Structure 1
């Protein structure tokens, strides 16, 4: 019997991480916790993209009890498929990957200058590929700590892998093996989710294709062995040598008979996948959804390998598509996530009647060893807006910040003239966050008042100014504080901090991707002209020789001015 854990009928929408942010669920880890062995680093990073094309991340520092929202990249393609993913390097620096949605032949990345601290990101770099990219999922495994294994949707819109070098002294990396297509489906676009055992294997589960186009849509599972660079089924039978070409999959009965241990589910419905994890005995478990032929009925399932077979347990009815646009993306369920630390706990977004009508709420499903639901607990309740695409933050089990999700209305995965509001959600979590602490008074001033500011690099300061750039000229000095100036480069649209003949240029342009809102819907590989700011908030924060610049509340630059401090 299922036990429902009831709480008082109060409104609980969690706590806001950011008021503008979203993600797709195929690029992971979209959030990550890292605690160093010596305990000096204890931070969580949550990444997302907003409808203005800002790729961002919130960093929570559990030692300093503070959080900062970092601008990773401005003026990017405003598409929720472009959310960033995180990787901790052997030297404890944080590497952040991101890419456009399947219409550009490269990945972008930035690496923190300091261990575990994404407020110190270095310059933007590229990994050039021969095929279009999306959904970067990076791994470093203990049996090969000198390489990065990067998985993504690449060659022919199929699961793809490459082995990369670690960053050199200039943060450049090389592709040392691959890219190689892992499988070839009879479907046009298999969707894959990846995880690893941390040692020598990458596990991935994938569909025949997109459930919109494939009915039925099967679900498959394979291992990647990094020692042999071969593909294996769940029992360890070798299927292919990756470099020799992709393993061929299909939905025919002959295939299922020949390769039974590659097939997780062969239903009459349209399967899609949300997550893969590894249980304590070391067996794979999968969060999946079965979608009816007409796409109006979605049902969540928990698939787990028993050692002999894949057992699929029904969890909950997921309603239909969760969003506000009834004629597109009818296979977009509210979403589900497995707790990797206790894989018998699953969080699902399900439709619930509440104080504000029928909304998607996050519920926690607790399973027994056989995969049956034994208890259900409401995480959110009586919400004003939908709560969707939940995600348990990897390695966060010893922190108060474990679960995060999207909250709000959602119209489309891309901003366009068809749906200019796009994915206008916030990001919420189960953690209240840290109160804002300012040891130094934040001085509000005008540009004119700033000219008279008595500036001394030996003294800490925080200054906030509203800037109103000339959108025709859009260049030159925007703010002057004695010998310290904040400039706008006319050619690059990037802000520059200038001090004593040194120029510190931002990676990010001073503008937004709002131009996309008047452009046709779709991924066409174009970069539209950024929208210039007619007004913006600039904050300069100086402490102990470090200058931080914030554009509209987002940390843009962290600059060491220590050499100039006498």
Structure 2
């Protein structure tokens, strides 16, 4: 469908929405999906079969690719149809939304500069309804002068958006905000957030999945390098029994730009798995299971991934969900077709079967009073891995209902010979009952892993509760490889939580800090907005 681009206008001096909620330009993009409507055979690409039509085409029974069914023709709103007229675009309050979206793209005025104090960086609400968890990456990407951010709408502001997989584009020069719906109504679950990757030809790839309830990996690519224009969606099924959760994308230039997508659940295994593309995301091929945990229990290792973009992909992982296991933390690396320990010792070829945790390098030893969960992984200037993780402490002798009252953030880096592991600070309590290991979240700065951004409902230096008990975002820096830390509080919101901060790679001296602001009651029920602070 046609796409409208709204140019920012000079902001009115004193007029603002009373509720403070920004409006946005929104469009579904050509071929947007509704629900899990794609079908197809195992291992085949599926292009829009059975997809629910855009709102302006609901009078058409279905959209069918030409030639896909005898006796049926693609209707005026089916594949290959000309784009609808501008007035048919699914843009709400078109006359107002353009100016409001432009206004919302303009940063809020900074706090007054009194007494020579440094002025606070400006904040921008990029999306008024969005969530993500921390096991799909990259959730944000700087691409051709624009910041791209993927998220899942929960319908907290507009029920019609519930379960929409969305991509927000923020022009870093003009402040223009442009939102594309990659998939309408898939699932209101933060596990479904998309992963983003820039391809070798300048296009952007987005992949996303349901939360373990079907076999499909969904994906779309941009039309050329314009991140406002997206090709129709497709889906890939590694096998009929696969139950996919998460997607993590990495491209290796030394392997002829092969794209790896890491997910969970090949062949209903519940295990970290992988597939790959050798044709620029035109198609996908089945890989295998990456990590297995032998034993009678059906454990699910959790993994964070980091790559140098050339020939190496690093893995930071646990044996299981910390709810079910006193998790330790491990590292391994893929290089030259094989899996290796941190010191380079060979484990096995990638295609020869999964590794088990005991074959990798152990960073942290878990126990009843020290249960680890991986949070982030990055590479330093020498290509060495740096890890951030959380630990639930002191719960070994407590009743289950009292678990999750004390978490710590930790930092580990590989110095070329060994892992140096130290505490960053206090993380506070569990985010909500039922998920005792959910914390506010911590991310490493990908351009400078000696800086982290964390969310806590306590002072990370002392553990003292914060006023109001809300989670706030802090910056922490270490001048000595993790032995000591300096903290700076970045948010002070007395009524809303500031959660799951992330930072995409950008350029030296520039930081695009993102977080989720509002309330998170569960991974399927939240009132969160996506906030940007450019530093």
TM (norm. structure 1) is 0.66
Equivalent-residue separation in structure 1 for 2:122 and 2:142 (angstroms): 22
Give the C-alpha shift of residue 69 in structure 1: 1.4
Contact 1:97 1:107 (8 Å CA) reproduced: yes
185-194 vs 16-25, which deviates more? 185-194
What CA deviation, in whole Å up to 9, does each residue of 1:302-350 have, x standing for no partner?
A: 0111222211111111111124xx2x11111011000011110011111
Equivalent in the alignment of 1:337: 443
Q: 1:290-305 maps to which residues of 2 (within 5 A)?
A: 290-292=391-393, 293=395, 294-305=403-414
Give the C-alpha shift of residue 396 in structure 1: 5.0
Aligned counterpart in structure 2 of residue 212 of structure 1, from 287, 307, 323: 323
Q: How many residues align?
A: 392
Q: Is the radius of gyration larger for structure 1 or structure 2?
A: 1
Q: 1:428-507 maps to which residues of 2 (within 5 A)?
A: 428-431=531-534
Q: Secondary structure at the match of 2:452?
A: strand
Equivalent in the alignment of 2:138: 29
Aligned counterpart in structure 1 of residue 153 of structure 2, from 18, 31, 50: 50
Contact 2:275 2:284 (8 Å CA) reproduced: no
Equivalent in the alignment of 1:289: 390
TM (norm. structure 2) is 0.69
Equivalent in the alignment of 1:519: none
Equivalent-residue separation in structure 2 for 1:274 and 1:110 (angstroms): 27
Aligned counterpart in structure 2 of residue 279 of structure 1, from 380, 395, 407: 380
Equivalent in the alignment of 1:438: none
Aligned counterpart in structure 1 of residue 457 of structure 2, from 344, 351, 356: 351
Give the C-alpha shift of residue 297 in structure 1: 1.1
Q: 1:367-382 maps to which residues of 2 (within 5 A)?
A: 367-382=478-493
Runs of 4+ displaced beyond 6 Å: 6-13, 353-356
Equivalent in the alignment of 1:319: 428
| RMSD between aligned residues | 2.4
Equivalent in the alignment of 2:223: 113
Instruction: From the superposition, tell whether residues 63 and 346 of structure 1 become closer, same or farther in structure 2 (CA, over 3 Å).
Output: closer
The structure richer in strand per residue is 1
What CA deviation, in whole Å up to 9, does each residue of 1:35-70 have, x standing for no partner?
A: xxxxxx311101100111111121122355422111
Q: 1:484-563 maps to which residues of 2 (within 5 A)?
A: none
Give the C-alpha shift of residue 173 in structure 1: 1.0
Q: Secondary structure at the match of 2:227?
A: strand
Equivalent in the alignment of 2:279: 166
| Unaligned runs of at least 5 residues, structure 2 | 1-114, 155-161, 396-402, 459-463
Equivalent-residue separation in structure 2 for 1:30 and 1:15 (angstroms): 17
Q: Which has the higher contact order (CA 8 A, sep 6+)?
A: 1
Give the C-alpha shift of residue 241 in structure 1: 1.8
Give the C-alpha shift of residue 114 in structure 1: 2.7
Contact 1:106 1:133 (8 Å CA) reproduced: yes
Equivalent-residue separation in structure 1 for 2:235 and 2:467 (angstroms): 46
Give the C-alpha shift of residue 382 in structure 1: 3.8
Q: Is residue 519 of structure 2 the alignment partner of residue 409 of structure 1?
A: yes
What CA deviation, in whole Å up to 9, does each residue of 1:326-385 have, x standing for no partner?
A: 2x1111101100001111001111114899611111111110233123421111124421
Q: Secondary structure at the match of 2:520?
A: coil
Give the C-alpha shift of residue 145 in structure 1: 3.3
| Unaligned runs of at least 5 residues, structure 1 | 1-5, 35-40, 250-254, 415-421, 433-566
Contact 2:424 2:482 (8 Å CA) reproduced: no
Equivalent-residue separation in structure 1 for 2:254 and 2:418 (angstroms): 29
What CA deviation, in whole Å up to 9, does each residue of 1:408-454 have, x standing for no partner?
A: 1111112xxxxxxx02211112149xxxxxxxxxxxxxxxxxxxxxx
